[in-house]
Amino acid sequence: MIRLIYIVIISVLFVFPFDSKAQTNTESKIEELSVKVDSLTHQIDYIKMSYEVYVLNTDLKIFTQDVNSQIKDMKMNIYHHDCDRDMYRMYSRMYDAYRDNLESTKKLIESKQRLFIAMMIAREWSEGEVNVLTQSYDMTKGIFHQAELTLDMMKDILDIYHKRI
């Protein structure tokens, strides 16, 4: 994107002849535009990184709430002695799907973290930006751990459900 802007600006300079004063003025404008483009690119990268972490955290929270909802359903069935094999099979398949989903989410988190590390190395970041992004990633780890614990709880409840059949 930056290269394309440079190419357009340079081609305009070669097409239109300028005197030295106009050329100096144009060069300073090019430098000023270049600095603005770099600043905007930096801001876009930061916003994209923040947004990606936000989406990961939100998806994990929704996942955890969904698993908790299924756990409550299973507990109610156990409490009311309303357990049968068909429901157990459905809950087992659901548990397997949740486990697969969480495993793929774990791989997604790891790949996004590698991407973000590469982006942080490639560009200079302020200490505040680094702190916010680091805290967001730490929050992602905590939310993921909570999702794992919730899924483990679902497995335990599923085992109890199976015993009540």
Residue 77 pLDDT exceeds 70: yes
Average pLDDT, whole number, for the chain?
Answer: 90
Give the integer Cα–Cα distance in Å for 152 and 67: 10
Q: What is the mean pLDDT of residues 84-107?
A: 98
- Whether residue 120 is predicted with pLDDT greater than 90 in this model: the reply is no
* pLDDT bucket at 39, cuts 50 / 70 / 90: very high
* pLDDT band with cut points at 50, 70 and 90 for residue 11: low
Torsion of CA 86, 91, 92, 95, to 10 degrees: 170
Task: State the distance between the two ends of the chain, measured CA to CA, in whole angstroms.
Answer: 62
